[in-house]
Amino acid sequence: MSAALLWCKSNFSFLEGASHPDELCEEAARLGYDALALTDRDGVYGVVRAHVKARDLGLKLIVGAQVSVDDGSSIVLLAQDRAGYANLCQLLSTGRLRSVKGASVVSWSEVCERASGLIALWGGEESRLSRAEECDEIAGSLRAAFGDRLYALAARHRRAEEVRHEARLRERARRFSLPVAAATEVLYHRQDRRRVQDLVTCIRRGTTISQAGRFLKPNAEHHLKSPHAFAELFHDDLVAQAHTRDIAARCTFSMSDLSYRYPGERLPDGTSAAQWLRQLTFEGARARYGARIPAPVVAQVERELTLIDELDYGGYFLTIHDLVLFCEREKILCQGRGSAANSAVCYCLRITAVDPVRMDLLFERFLSKERAEPPDIDLDIEHERREEVIQYMYAKYGRAHAAMVANLVCYRARSAVRDVGKALGWKESQLLRVAELLSHWDGIEEGVFTQAGIDTSTHACRLLLELASEIEGFPRHLSIHPGGFLLGHEPVSTLVPIENATMPDRTVIQWDKDDVEALGLFKVDLLGLGALTHLHRAFDLLREHHGLELTIATVPPDDRATFEQISRADTVGVFQIESRAQMSMLPQLGPKTYYDLVIEISIVRPGPITGGMVHPFLRRRNGEETVEYPHECLRPVLEKTLGVPLFQEQVMKLAVVAADYTPGEADALRRDMAAWKKTGRIAQHRERLITRMQKKGIAIEFAERVFQQILGFGEYGFPESHAASFALISYAGAWIKCHHPAVFACSLLNAQPMGFYSVATIVEDAKRHGVEVRPADVQRSRWDCSLEKKDDVLAVRMGLRFVRNLGYGAGRAIEIAVDEAPFTSIEDFHRRTKISENALKSLAEAGAFEQLERERRSALWSAVGASRTEAHEMFAGEAHAEPPARFAPLSEFDTIRWDYAATNYSARSHPLAPLRAELDALGLPDARRVSKMRDGARVDYAGLVICRQRPGTAAGVTFMTLEDETGFVNVIVKPVVFEAHAVLGKTRAFLGVSGRLQVKGSSVQLLAKKLWVPEVDSEPQSGGSRDFH
């Protein structure tokens, strides 16, 4: 071993280090080091990234950490072997789990208990060995625990005070017989990152650069020095240099040594995981296909089981199957999503609901031998009941064996500008102005500063621009992944440290999902999906009110009326096809079958849109363009999408068929195309694809076009299997909406918050579908919305859940009280429910006391009186002694306004209904009239904005949906028009739009030329707009 770096901290020592782990590795390799120890503070957050990079560079990575001790000092620990690594992880877990998020502290005795397999480097500025106070006792304990694996660390950074500290350290090292090793504390890979290190120090300390004083390092000597410079720095102590090399040689642990075993399922005696999986799979297959399982299914299942057994992944499938069984037992709707739907085994185990054999889905998209990495099964679970499944996981595997995967939060443009600017001493108001103008996707652009009125030529601004750009992408802190679990046969804390998450009773590992994937570990994703909650509630209502026993699988298929409704874009509240973009596409595509729905879901995605696949597909589907294939061999691959590749699987199959890729290589292509912008690895596929396609007789133009499409497809394409899983949920929802609109609306309202639209829009949509919606009423409403039958027609009674200031507890109190006896007055209501004054007032304002007090203002007066009158006065009857107060009754317009103010919707009427006569007088048509106008017609329209969208693929075009009492008008606002009316566009709830109509079939859109404020006597209330960027 010629040269080694033993004490390096990356930017995963949050707000301390100033270089990425891979930058440190690259620079160390460039300078000729043989080994580098990554010793981030109290964590191993960055080791996987460093490991991957070091492996590529042929650099030896030593894994370690700088561990904080409870006396305010610290010690650097390096993993010598696997046992040492496990001890390090457990020590860090101990420190992290007892501390608040972001902190960690251990005692010296805990360090000593975990000494086995670890090398300790004791030194540096924070160390007790170089501090003035005595440390004999600690030294004795460490010496006893670590033996010859304890070194005194002489750290030099050309600081004057280090001379004194090192003298003290060496004197003590002699006294305690400790060998001295040489090191510098590396905080950044190049000296020019010193500025960033200063800044992150300021951010960590909450101060500005000009006031940071001695919080900052006094010089720029914490970079990665060349081996020559390092030797020069310690020229007076060759022995210490030799010890440094010895230590590096003694550390033999590599992250590749992590042998991971999936937790064993409890199997029937004598049965192996593979046997048990086989048995369950074929039992499932018989349930799915009947006693005679079709031959292609058997062949596919056999192929999958062989591969699963070969790769020893059986336990993983059994775990997921166990979760599905738990959900079935507990009547929780769940369904596998993503590439798992390509697996026949998953289908047979009821993990997924799509038959991959019937749909001819590509298994290798899910699992392949070449990929040599565990499968990834994402399980969608009703969002209100996901916690039950999580708790089941904890209960079954124990917190030692199950931990949630972290989500790494990194600096993005806005946060970087804000934090760096604050550290540089900029005024917060100035920074906010810039941050507001920065987009979510783009980097830090100079033009934004100019827009914010800041002179970019000043030194201060140049610094901010440079440094904020440098810090972009730096890790900031960990948060919790939406549902990723890491399960281990051995305690997870021997694999990776576990720490507290912000959420109570949640623990999280120090790695994110990419790290887990990079190390080939298994994770289970449990994702909450509101649409499943919606369907579950709808199925319950269908059973209760119609006696229909349905599941997603048994919803009547291929229903013509349902597809006609979908083709009319009548899909408010229908999973995946309710967005503004989907609604625009639906009339053009006109889905008639389930597979059309799969295409519909996949096509409105950035991949197909930017890949230029949408319009050719639509033209071919509408018969405006001939369906042709560049080569006959591609027909089977592209036939179902009319010659245009729309799915990831098609690109993979295309590579297999046209360029002789193996299925595993095709999956590598899929992964490389997902990350081509980052890695550039896609370039190596280009020549291979094009040359091989040419050899097959495919024209070079087509080969080039296919490659360009692959690039365009990038990371934003859907796998077909994923779309197929989602399409099942979409169809089930659409069928219920079509045949049981009251059930659909009621269950959708009870599943809120979810989906794309506000409660007001859902209510208005239900009314337009002939559903009677009855307002909330304390005498009749439950917490949830319910269905009331009158003359065999179901009406929706709004629940109390949408009344502002009314929590679930108060709602239950009302339910219990009214079940005992109806309320006789508002005072009686208050006395029996004891709900808060604000809740009482909201109920009065919502008109929920109408049966007790007809006029809402009088109800409000009584509610305020009741809640502010002492109990003894009420019983004494004094409250009734006051003279009656008279208030003006509410107008129709105000009634709706009060509804919206108290509940965010109105069951009584649409806010624009009372204004219709006024709008008619202004010559403004309603949405129904607009939908019947001809293409190119000039239209002035006014409606309530319910949605604004500016997708990244739309080149700055803003899409708005406006609503009135008769329906929706879709508006397209080009950037130049939006800029000219930016304030109105961003802020107005009631908006006027002038423009020309674009009519294509039944798709009607208004291309805005001008936005304006409608001149009406009173401003209507809105249920709010759902805005997406």
Partner 1 sequence: MDRMACVELPTLPLQLLLRAHPEWRDEPVALIEREAPHAAILCVNEEARRLGIAPGMRYSVALGLCAKLCAGVFENSAVATEVEGIAELLRRFSPRVEASTEHRGTFWLDTRGLTPLYPSLADWARAIEADLCAAGFAATIAVGFRRFASAAIARALARGIVLFECAEEEHAALLRVPLVHIGLEPAARAELEKLGVERVGDLVLLHAGSLLRRFGPKVHALHRRASGDLQEPLTPQHPVIRPRASIGLEFPETDRVRLLALCQELLAPLLTRLEERGEVVLTLAFHLTLDDARTVEEHISPAVPTRDRAWLVRLLELRLESLSLKPGVARVEIVLEAAAPRVAETTLFAERPRRDPAAAAKAIDALTVLLGPGSVVHARLQDAHLPEARFAWSPGTLPHRPAPHAPTSPMLVRRIFHAPHALAPLAPHASDGWLLRGVTHGCVQRLIGPHSLSGGWWRSEVERDYHFAELKNGELYWIFYDKRRRRWFLQGSVS
Interacting residues toward partner 1 by CB under 8 A? 158-160, 163, 194-195, 198, 209-210, 213-214, 216, 218-221, 424, 427-429, 431-433, 436-437, 451-453, 463, 845, 857, 860-861, 864-865, 868-869, 879, 882-883, 885, 887-888, 983, 986-988
Distance CA 110, CA 775 (A): 63
Considering the complex, what minimum distance in angstroms separates the CB of residue 43 from partner 1?
28
SS3 content of the chain, % helix, strand, coil (to 5): 50, 15, 35
Considering the complex, what minimum distance in angstroms separates the CB of residue 460 from partner 1?
8
Write phi, then psi, for 943 (nearest 5 degrees).
Answer: -155, 175
Question: With contact defined as beta carbons under 8 Å apart, do 705 and 616 qualify?
Answer: no
Considering the complex, what minimum distance in angstroms separates the CB of residue 479 from partner 1?
21
- Identify which of residues 232 and 660 has a Cβ nearer to partner 1 in the complex: 232
- Identify which of residues 353 and 438 has a Cβ nearer to partner 1 in the complex: 438
Distance CA 983, CA 997 (A): 23
- Identify which of residues 292 and 459 has a Cβ nearer to partner 1 in the complex: 459
Considering the complex, what minimum distance in angstroms separates the CB of residue 854 from partner 1?
15
Candidates 837, 839, 864; CA nearest to 853 is 864
- Identify which of residues 668 and 846 has a Cβ nearer to partner 1 in the complex: 846
Q: Pinpoint the alpha helices (H) of 330-427.
A: 344-348, 386-397, 413-423
Question: With contact defined as beta carbons under 8 Å apart, do 968 and 962 qualify?
Answer: yes
- Identify which of residues 554 and 838 has a Cβ nearer to partner 1 in the complex: 838
Candidates 826, 985, 1005; CA nearest to 927 is 1005
Distance CA 386, CA 277 (A): 25
Candidates 152, 107, 159, 105; CA nearest to 129 is 152
- Identify which of residues 539 and 861 has a Cβ nearer to partner 1 in the complex: 861
Distance CA 158, CA 33 (A): 22
Considering the complex, what minimum distance in angstroms separates the CB of residue 108 from partner 1?
28
Considering the complex, what minimum distance in angstroms separates the CB of residue 20 from partner 1?
21
Considering the complex, what minimum distance in angstroms separates the CB of residue 132 from partner 1?
11
- Identify which of residues 310 and 873 has a Cβ nearer to partner 1 in the complex: 873
What's 149's DSSP letter? G
- Identify which of residues 418 and 910 has a Cβ nearer to partner 1 in the complex: 418
Considering the complex, what minimum distance in angstroms separates the CB of residue 232 from partner 1?
12
- How far is the CA of 929 from the CAs of 388, 925, 934, in angstroms? 49, 6, 10
- Identify which of residues 41 and 194 has a Cβ nearer to partner 1 in the complex: 194
Q: Which residues contact 845 (CB under 8 A, 6 or more apart)?
A: 856, 860, 898, 901, 902
Q: Is the dihedral of CA 455, 456, 459, 462 positive or negative?
A: positive
Candidates 586, 573, 559; CA nearest to 1002 is 586
- How far is the CA of 999 from the CAs of 565, 931, 933, 1004, in angstroms? 19, 9, 8, 5
Q: How many CA atoms lie within 13 A of 265 on its CB side?
A: 20
- Identify which of residues 441 and 821 has a Cβ nearer to partner 1 in the complex: 441
- How far is the CA of 414 from the CAs of 419, 432, 445, 464, in angstroms? 9, 9, 11, 12
Considering the complex, what minimum distance in angstroms separates the CB of residue 864 from partner 1?
5
Considering the complex, what minimum distance in angstroms separates the CB of residue 430 from partner 1?
10
- How far is the CA of 148 from the CAs of 58, 138, 244, 611, in angstroms? 29, 16, 14, 62
Considering the complex, what minimum distance in angstroms separates the CB of residue 865 from partner 1?
6
Considering the complex, what minimum distance in angstroms separates the CB of residue 329 from partner 1?
47
Distance CA 104, CA 95 (A): 5
The neighbour count for residue 485, using CB atoms within 10 Å, is: 24
- Identify which of residues 53 and 988 has a Cβ nearer to partner 1 in the complex: 988
Question: With contact defined as beta carbons under 8 Å apart, do 901 and 805 qualify?
Answer: no
Considering the complex, what minimum distance in angstroms separates the CB of residue 834 from partner 1?
19
What's 34's DSSP letter? S
Q: Which residues, in sequence order, are bridge partners of residue 721?
A: none
- Identify which of residues 219 and 554 has a Cβ nearer to partner 1 in the complex: 219
- Identify which of residues 875 and 887 has a Cβ nearer to partner 1 in the complex: 887
- Identify which of residues 87 and 184 has a Cβ nearer to partner 1 in the complex: 184
The number of residues in the chain equals 1029
377-382 and 334-337 strand pairing: antiparallel
Considering the complex, what minimum distance in angstroms separates the CB of residue 233 from partner 1?
11
The amino acid present at 149, given as its one-letter code, is R
What's 363's DSSP letter? G
Considering the complex, what minimum distance in angstroms separates the CB of residue 139 from partner 1?
23
- Please spell the DSSP secondary structure of 172-210, one letter per residue: HHHHHTPPEEEE--B-BSSGGGHHHHHHHHHHHHT--TT
Considering the complex, what minimum distance in angstroms separates the CB of residue 225 from partner 1?
13
Q: Which residues, in sequence order, are bridge partners of residue 968?
A: 963
Instruction: Verify cis geometry, omega within 30 degrees of 0, for the bond prior to 296.
Output: no
- Identify which of residues 116 and 439 has a Cβ nearer to partner 1 in the complex: 439
* Extended beta strands in 156-287, E state: 180-183
Distance CA 254, CA 600 (A): 47
Considering the complex, what minimum distance in angstroms separates the CB of residue 164 from partner 1?
11
- Identify which of residues 87 and 903 has a Cβ nearer to partner 1 in the complex: 903
Considering the complex, what minimum distance in angstroms separates the CB of residue 5 from partner 1?
20
Distance CA 723, CA 731 (A): 12
Q: Is the dihedral of CA 807, 809, 811, 813 positive or negative?
A: negative
Q: The tokens of 663 are what?
A: 């299925």
- Identify which of residues 440 and 868 has a Cβ nearer to partner 1 in the complex: 868
The amino acid present at 932, given as its one-letter code, is K
Question: With contact defined as beta carbons under 8 Å apart, do 524 and 696 qualify?
Answer: no
- Identify which of residues 468 and 634 has a Cβ nearer to partner 1 in the complex: 468
